[in-house]
Structure 1
Amino acid sequence: MITLFRAINILFNIIEFLIVIRILLSLLNIGPYNPLGKIVYEVTEPILGFARQLIYKSGINTGMFDFSPLLAILILRLISALLLRILF
């Protein structure tokens, strides 16, 4: 049971880390056509796309700022906490 707990934690931490890497890649102007950028974009786009849809559907106007990474990390932490409470 402890190994499953650790595996879930590691998985969610890796995804959060990749989201932070994606933020840094966008600041450095490294697009999805770079080999590293492509991997990071492919792994993070499903959760970030979902977060963008939530922001759009809620009608919140964020202007030029993209809050989807922040919302995605919050969603990941909520899912992780719920999963760990259900399993343990």
Structure 2
Amino acid sequence: MYLIRLSLSILFRIIDSLILVRVLLSFFPTLQSSRIAYFIYQMTEPILAPCRAILDKLGLGMGMFDFSPILAFVLLNILQSII
């Protein structure tokens, strides 16, 4: 049981880190075309897309700022504390 909990904790940290790197990449448009950026976008989009949909349904998805990473961080932390 401990090994499963540790593995999930590491997985959540990796996902958090990838989302943070994606946020940072958004400030550097020249780096967004790299293979690493493509990998990061592919790994984080399945998490951020539903968060964007939730924010759109709540009417908070408008504007030039994407708040889906913040919602993803909150939801991942809640999920991690439940597990």
TM over 0.5: yes
Deviation at 1:62, TM superposition (A): 4.4
Identity percentage over the alignment? Answer: 38
Q: Deviations over 1:66-87 (max 9, x none)?
A: 11100011111111122x2xxx
Say if 2:60 is the partner of 1:60: yes
Aligned to 1:43: 43
Aligned to 2:26: 26
Contact 2:12/2:80 (CA < 8 Å) preserved in 1? yes
Gapped regions of structure 2 (runs ≥ 5): none
Q: Residues 1-20 of structure 1: matches in 2 within 5 Å?
A: 1-20=1-20
Gapped regions of structure 1 (runs ≥ 5): none
Deviation at 1:57, TM superposition (A): 0.5
Q: Root-mean-square deviation (CA), in Å?
A: 1.2
Deviation at 1:60, TM superposition (A): 2.0
TM-score (norm: length of structure 1): 0.85
Cα separation, 1, equivalents of 2:40 and 2:61: 26
TM-score (norm: length of structure 2): 0.90
